[in-house]
Amino acid sequence: MSAKVFATKEVQDLLKAAANLDSPEGNARVKEITHRLLGDLFKAIDDLDMTPDEIWAGVNYFNKLGKDGEAALLAAGIGLEKYLDIRMDAADREADIHGGTPRTIEGPLYVAGAPVRDGVSKIDINPDEDAGPLVIRGTVTSPDGKPVANAIVECWHANSKGFYSHFDPTGAQNDFNLRGAVRTGADGKYEFRTLMPVGYGCPPQGATQQLLDAMARHGNRPAHVHFFVTSDKMRKLTTQINIEGDPLIWDDFAYATREELVPHVIEKTGGAALGLKADAYREIEFDIVLTPLVEGKDNQLVNRPRVSATA
């Protein structure tokens, strides 16, 4: 079928009716966005001559996506979350904000409520035979190099199976395993004592992997560690580091890798004195530069539904 109907009065009236544009009531922003997205979809159906079978496959895909609880995972996998970063980076350049540690996506697996420790936190609760000890440490500063005191550095990462506590399908991990929070002192320093993570893979039977499969894409991430860094006086930073040497560093299904976020991994000894499970351990130094509030406000703070728990 090659007949084009999008531009007809009948279809344009249908779009307006569906978004209730002729009424003064309802949420104006919701109406504006719905009208635009629906219009773009209708146009694409016309342009690509999508069949009813294709449309119903798509509609039912949303049902599976919801049933699997994977909408935020899909957002990462289709580059939507990365796109928001690209836009925030551009806004920063426009506002002449430079010098901070680069942001990268939050992902869907954060859990609020990790216990806050002063300066140092050991965050591996469950033994993990296949993971060696890892220390991640650094200093939180402002762009002028001054330490930021009373910053809260939160981190979260996967175990040696690529699973996160609270989302582990094997049920093997306690709450807040491999999740922690540290308050910096006057020196701005933070340190996490933990275990080496392994990269994440999408649930193989889930909706996200189903779409990726159809496009011959994998659903894997390189080994990585997430961070939120907050302080009264600075903008919140959402970022991650990748574990140097992981073969997927430049092949991340969520597009989160950035050149500045692949710190060196150093081999060290003396782990026993730090309470690590072996004397030989790996260390990553990751210094974090926060940027100041804009007219007293964090102009890039993201509100989204997040899981929280009590430790």
Partner touching 123 among ligand MBD, Fe ion, none, CB below 5 to 8 Å by kind? none
Residue of closest CB approach to ligand MBD: 107
Q: CA quadruple 128, 130, 133, 134: dihedral positive or negative? A: negative
Q: Given candidates 74, 109, 223, 290, which one binds ligand MBD under the rule CB under 6 A? A: 109
Which residue has 């509100």 as its token pair? 303
> In this structure, what DSSP letter does residue 103 have?
P
- The answer to the question of residue 254 lying near ligand MBD (CB under 6 A) is yes
Smallest gap, in angstroms, from Cβ of residue 298 to ligand MBD?
Answer: 22
Per the document, the length of the chain is 311
Using the minimum distance from each CB to ligand MBD, give the nearer residue, 100 or 199: 199
Give the nearer residue to Fe ion in terms of CB position, either 107 or 133. Answer: 107
Q: Is the four-CA dihedral 260, 195, 308, 114 of positive or negative sign? A: negative
> Using CB under 5 A, which of 65, 77, 101, 107 touches Fe ion?
107
Residue with tokens 């922690």: 180
Of the candidate spans 6-14, 41-49, 105-113, 281-289, the one that interacts with ligand MBD by CB under 6 A turns out to be: 105-113
Query: Taking contact as CB under 6 A, which single stretch among the options 39-47, 50-58, 107-115, 273-281 is the one that binds ligand MBD?
Result: 107-115
Please say which residue, 132 or 162, places its beta carbon nearer to ligand MBD.
162
The residue (of 109 and 140) whose beta carbon lies closer to Fe ion is: 109
Residue of closest CB approach to Fe ion: 107
Show the 3-state SS of 234-255. ECCEEEEEECCCCCCCCCCCCC
The structure tokens listed for 18 are: 């569906």
- Select the span of 61-69, 104-112, 123-131, 273-281 touching ligand MBD (CB under 6 A): 104-112
Exactly one of 73, 131, 196, 229 binds ligand MBD (CB under 6 A); which one? Answer: 73
Q: Which stretch binds Fe ion (CB under 5 A): 12-20, 102-110, 132-140, 294-302?
A: 102-110
Supply φ then ψ for residue 43, to 5 degrees.
-65, -45
| DSSP bridge partners of 230 | 152
Distance from the Cα of residue 252 to its chain's centroid: 12
Angle between helices 28-48 and 9-18 (to 10 degrees): 140
Report which secondary-structure segment, H or E, holds 225.
Answer: strand 224-230
Residue 103 C-beta: closest distance to ligand MBD, Å: 13
How are the residues of the chain apportioned to helix, strand and coil, as percentages rounded to the nearest 5? 25, 20, 50
Size, binding site for ligand MBD by CB under 6 A: 10
Which residues of this protein are in contact with ligand MBD, per CB under 6 A? 73, 76, 105, 107-109, 200, 221, 254, 256
Binding region for Fe ion (CB under 5 A): 107
